[in-house]
Structure 1
Amino acid sequence: MGQFGFGISWIAESFYVDTERFGALAIPAVAGLSAGLAIFPAIAAMLFATIMQRRTVSGISAGLLLATCWVAAEWLRGHVLTGFPWNLAAYALLDHAALRQPAAWVGSYGLSFLTVFIGILPGVLLVDAPKKRAFVLALFGVAVTGLGGGGVLRLRQDVPPTDIALRVVQGNVPQVEKWAPGSRESTLEKYLRLSAPPGRFDLLLWPETAFPGFLDEDAAARTRLSTVLPDDRILLTGVPDRLEGDGGTRYFNTVQAYDSSGEILTGYAKHHLVPFGEYVPLRGWLPIERLTEGLGDFTPGPEPRTLAIPGAPPVAVAICYEIIFPGHVVDDLFRPDWIFNATNDAWFGTSIGPEQHLASARMRAVEEGLPVVRAANTGISAIIDANGEIVARLDTGQTGVIDANLPTALAPTPYARFGDWTSLALICAAWALIFAVRLTKRRSNTKYSRSEES
């Protein structure tokens, strides 16, 4: 409760955007969600305690068991009821360049396993028998050195910038104004003005719902794009979209690509929607309305896909919190050269939420070996290289642009190839090593006993 109560306290900010309608729900919502999420570490503790009661497990094996239970619960938290893998244990290592690199091999869940297990070892040293302390100390040193050393070796891979020039625009439009009647013109004018300064760019990037309307239906607005898009330049922007069908109108949260003539080239519809923010689960049963403005629930798009854009490297798109899901951002059949994360963190003000959101984006860069470019309405916009290092950023509350070249993509990482199977392989390998050591020790003791009898 303590971890989640503090870690997701930023969610309350979204309720205060429309205080009159939703302000009273802020504290109950955070408390309720924290209690729900706290069930998962409780499951880990219960599973650990149950096994400890039924089997004789101690020392390093007990530490290994707790780390395994903890990560299994984290994995469940990232998948049950659409999942919410926020603030995983691995993110404690994020700001240490070498220590975050093993995520390229075993993903964030595998790195969480290593983080918890290594963190437990000093405790094992204190409570275990004195004769084992030298071994535990040695294991702790090898684990930390191996974790950091492997990361240092990976950091030797060069990630120079490509010749693709980017311009990322952060409009800093307050959420209370974003969908206000009559604000569409001023918002568009602001983004056009910020995009217009002289300077070379190949791709112009606007954040999630940068245009608060249906841009593909607004010919006048699309015509105005030519004023900031020289020939052969492309705009990627977040916009809502709608389709008419026999079942009525369906709404989508999308990123669309436009050329200098205002023609739409391609698009991506968000497939992992935010419960209660973009749709209401079990709408027929729950007497709850959406917490955001809109004409109706959004419809999920297809799974992750790669967009082919003329004159630019192929790109994967992750809209808003889609970037927090390890292994579910990139199309495995058509690998992109970079990831575009369009988001609107204006809902969360100057809280810790945007920094935590950025942390997830940095871990996806390491896992996939791909640069991540974030365009956020009010921050944090950033360009992140394939090692998870921030090349450039605009902080929360800033208005401006980032002009920088797209970093180079690295070869597909083991995690990019095999996903969470690498985490499972790591855990199985750790258990196999422990069992091998125990079996060797048992045979040695048996042999010694027979020798004494002789």
Structure 2
Amino acid sequence: MFSQSLPSNTRYTHWLFCLALGIAVSIAGELPSGGWLQIPLLSLLWWRLSLINTTHFLPHFAGGFLFGLAYFVVGLWWIFISLHDIGGMNAALSVAAVVLLSAYMALFFGLASALGKKLQHRHIFLSSAIMAAAWVLLEYLRGQLFTGFPWVGFAEAQVNGPFAAIAPLLGGLGSTFLVVWASMQLSAWRQSLVRTSIPIGLVLVLMLGLNQLRFTEAIGTPISVRLIQGNFEQSLKWNPNAITQQMRFYSDAIVEKAADLIVIPETAFPLIERDLPSDALPQLRAFSQATHSNILLGLIGIVPSPNGQLQYSNRALGLSPSNASPYYYDKFHLVPFGEFIPPGFQWFVNAFRIPMSDFARGNLMQPPFHIERIGEDSIGAAITICYEDIFGNELASRIRNSEAPVNLFVNITNLAWFGQSQAPSQQLRLSQMRSIETGLPSIRSTNTGITAVIGPDGRVLQALPQWTQASLSTSVQGFTGKTPFVVWGNWPILSLACFLLAFALLQRRRF
């Protein structure tokens, strides 16, 4: 089959080209103008795959798969740091884990590429839309199957690209659709420069218009915020002396200065709530009441499991000036292997040597944390822990179905697991995309960075340098309202994708 689709002397060059493009597109996504750069680079992939003179499934799947394999290995290499440097796993096994995860992710790229090629239309505009539809459908599945892992997709790079403006209407998948469509259009410029460039130009003009739309509006006056970045090494997380030092630092930093909202990172108090020093929470509660400060901190909670036994949870605990009972948010979307053990994989966790790696799952619908203010209505903050802010459809569902208004996001996370890698900047872009999708600002409090405040348009307003022990004092404006994406979720873009694929299938059968 391969010999019929490619000359034997160019076959290996072709596959190497796909691998090289995967590396280039992944690296481009990390650059300041990555959302623009990825489009012409992707067009080279479609051009290269067009040289395969067959519509057979396997060659196009292989090209997309090899592209995806290189793309994800480069984009996810930081997992090696958490497995080997922090977790103590054997180096060879750690490399194998990164490659296997990347290969699994690449399956979706390969399937999308093959499906789009199989259903291609003779008209370039429709053919581009069909490939984009296939890509959107497989990207959606990548974010759903086996708890989902929609990391380093094309959408988040669009916070620095031309197609972010579609996200409040169609979400990140809408941005992904336009990236694939535009790159496919661009790949066919030799056939007809006019037919390929004019549609792209019109869509770019449309994006300029959509940029002027606002679906949410400011509510009340800005709140004062303090975000505390401790910069504690992950390797010291389970050292008793280091735990004491870390908790003392955060406790002292909290009471150093009042603010409407004071936030410390995920598991900044790395103990079970009942094992905290007896005076830890009472002192913070007294400070909250005396200064009218709302405090949000990360620790380890305990919840009853279905079998009646107690189980750990990754928890955010909130203290409000007028409420004697603390607010609890228990993480809903758990990390496979790190926070829950898939059936049959206890051996993997044992090799990784993670303490407390089987957490209880909180409910998807948990109430927002109410940030109380003197003389004004409270501000509702939807809490996310760790990588929960990469699941845009879940966050839209939480806002849509919340009984209390949600006016901003607060994410607490600990990225010390991933060392000095691109993981923090990748998650920052994902948080930016969530703000664009929902029209709500985001606050990020992290252990080692990137601690930041993001506006409702996705722009980073303020940030602390990484790998520094510091505090960010600023003000944040709450917003109210719902974008079309919050109201409808992914249904419009998925319906469009399914319609295009069904149309392509009917056309193929007709001819």
Q: TM-score with structure 1 length normalisation?
A: 0.86
- Percent identity, aligned pairs only, is 28
Q: Assess if the C-alpha contact under 8 Å between 2:225 and 2:262 holds in 1.
A: yes
Residue of structure 2 in register with 1:447 after alignment: none
Deviation, structure 1 residue 155: 6.8
Deviation, structure 1 residue 140: 1.8
Aligned equivalents of 2:478, 2:322: Cα separation in 1: 29
Aligned equivalents of 1:257, 1:122: Cα separation in 2: 50
Q: Assess if the C-alpha contact under 8 Å between 1:278 and 1:292 holds in 2.
A: no
Query: Which residues of 2 match residues 346-361 of structure 1 at below 5 A?
Result: 346-361=416-431
101 and 395 in structure 1: CA distance in 2 versus 1, 3 angstrom threshold: farther
- Give the number of equivalent residue pairs: 425
The one-letter code sitting in structure 1 at the alignment partner of 2:176 is S
Q: Assess if the C-alpha contact under 8 Å between 1:266 and 1:307 holds in 2.
A: no
193, 196, 201: which one pairs with 1:136? 196
Aligned equivalents of 2:143, 2:313: Cα separation in 1: 23
- Deviation per CA, 1:283-330: give whole Å up to 9, x if none: 4x6532264632451011111423242614111111101110111123
SS at match of 1:314: strand
148, 154, 172: which one pairs with 1:89? 154
355 and 238 in structure 1: CA distance in 2 versus 1, 3 angstrom threshold: same
Aligned equivalents of 2:169, 2:371: Cα separation in 1: 32
Aligned equivalents of 1:171, 1:235: Cα separation in 2: 16
Q: Does residue 1:36 correspond to 2:104, yes or no?
A: yes
The one-letter code sitting in structure 1 at the alignment partner of 2:279 is A
462, 465, 470: which one pairs with 1:392? 462
Q: Assess if the C-alpha contact under 8 Å between 2:303 and 2:310 holds in 1.
A: yes
Deviation, structure 1 residue 414: 0.3
Q: Does residue 1:373 correspond to 2:443, yes or no?
A: yes
166 and 310 in structure 1: CA distance in 2 versus 1, 3 angstrom threshold: closer
228 and 396 in structure 1: CA distance in 2 versus 1, 3 angstrom threshold: farther
Q: Does residue 1:26 correspond to 2:94, yes or no?
A: yes
Q: Does residue 1:178 correspond to 2:243, yes or no?
A: no
Q: Which stretch of structure 1 is more off in the superposition, 269-278 or 285-294?
A: 285-294
Q: TM-score with structure 2 length normalisation?
A: 0.77
Q: Assess if the C-alpha contact under 8 Å between 2:133 and 2:500 holds in 1.
A: no
Deviation, structure 1 residue 247: 3.9
Q: Assess if the C-alpha contact under 8 Å between 1:239 and 1:253 holds in 2.
A: yes
Aligned equivalents of 1:234, 1:156: Cα separation in 2: 28
Q: Does residue 1:298 correspond to 2:356, yes or no?
A: no
Unaligned runs of 5+ in 2: 1-68, 373-377
Q: Assess if the C-alpha contact under 8 Å between 1:192 and 1:228 holds in 2.
A: no
SS at match of 2:329: strand
Unaligned runs of 5+ in 1: 439-454
Q: Does residue 1:345 correspond to 2:415, yes or no?
A: yes
The one-letter code sitting in structure 2 at the alignment partner of 1:121 is Q
Q: Does residue 1:67 correspond to 2:137, yes or no?
A: no
Deviation, structure 1 residue 380: 0.7
- Deviation per CA, 1:199-240: give whole Å up to 9, x if none: x41111111001011235532211332575443222111111
SS at match of 1:309: strand
Deviation, structure 1 residue 29: 1.1
The one-letter code sitting in structure 2 at the alignment partner of 1:333 is N
40 and 95 in structure 1: CA distance in 2 versus 1, 3 angstrom threshold: same
Deviation, structure 1 residue 145: 1.7
C-alpha RMSD over aligned residues: 2.8
- Deviation per CA, 1:163-214: give whole Å up to 9, x if none: 311111111111011221232221111112333434x411111110010112
Deviation, structure 1 residue 139: 1.3
Q: Assess if the C-alpha contact under 8 Å between 1:208 and 1:320 holds in 2.
A: yes
24 and 160 in structure 1: CA distance in 2 versus 1, 3 angstrom threshold: farther
Q: Which stretch of structure 1 is more off in the superposition, 104-113 or 255-264?
A: 255-264
Deviation, structure 1 residue 407: 2.2
45 and 429 in structure 1: CA distance in 2 versus 1, 3 angstrom threshold: closer
187 and 228 in structure 1: CA distance in 2 versus 1, 3 angstrom threshold: farther
328, 345, 348: which one pairs with 2:394? 328
Residue of structure 1 in register with 2:485 after alignment: 415
Deviation, structure 1 residue 427: 4.4
SS at match of 2:221: strand
342 and 273 in structure 1: CA distance in 2 versus 1, 3 angstrom threshold: same
